[in-house]
Amino acid sequence: MSLVVRDLCKSYTVRGESQRTVTVLHHLDLVVEPGEFVAITGESGVGKSTLLNCLAALDDWQSGDIALDGQSLSAMDSDARAHWRRDHVGFVFQAFHVLPHLSVAQNVSVPLMLKGLSTAACAPAVADALHRVGLADYGERLPEQLSGGQLQRVAIARAIVHQPQLLLADEPTGNLDPENGQRILQLLRERAKADNAALVLVTHSQAAAQMADRNLTLTPTGWLPQGHEGAR
């Protein structure tokens, strides 16, 4: 499915001695085709993670539109956005967001169970996802028994288990060694191609960005012109 962002603007209100508005995203345009892998780089604080949160409809925005396969997110209320995320989005959070009281396999099965599948029905897809990230024998462990790199791979398995049409990843290799990092990026790339999904990666790693089909740099005023489609 194509991801299309048009004229997106996002601001925050900063409260203190004097209230002020800070604009983070300035009239951004972006098109990610089905199966395409786009990496977004840029300095800390320019809005990369904020953009991912908007693409997942986790954050609101002031103007502009985001659409997946022609379906506009701007027109959806919070309940509709939650259902849309459940059905279409896989998100690899920088902070993992695994549930500590659930086993690894149970954590990975969450997207499928939210769709109404039973534990037994989830099992084959969960086993496959854990195998793909190199954690085939870790399904019964609790998160507290895993390293940071292993938790990152659990988060990635959870993001791909339901074959989403939009894959979003915020520094997915930040806790991984170079070998596993490259393996995970290749996996995300392969899943995007196989599922015809749009893949958007935020990273500070140039090595990670170089694996993408397209690399865009976000600045405080918008895209850094690089001759890419969608750059401002």
The per-residue pLDDT for range 184-202, each reduced to its tens digit, is: 899 999 999 999 999 999 9
Percent of the chain topping pLDDT 90: 80
Round to whole Å and give the CA distance between 143 and 100: 6
Of 35, 25, 11, 13, the closest CA to residue 218 belongs to 25
Architecture of domain 35-61+76-223: 3-Layer(aba) Sandwich (3.40)
Round to whole Å and give the CA distance between 32 and 16: 38
pLDDT tens by residue, 98-123: 999 999 999 999 999 999 999 999 99
Q: Looking at residues 43-72, what average pLDDT do you find? A: 95
Q: Looking at residues 34-41, what average pLDDT do you find? A: 97
- Does residue 232 carry a pLDDT above 50? no
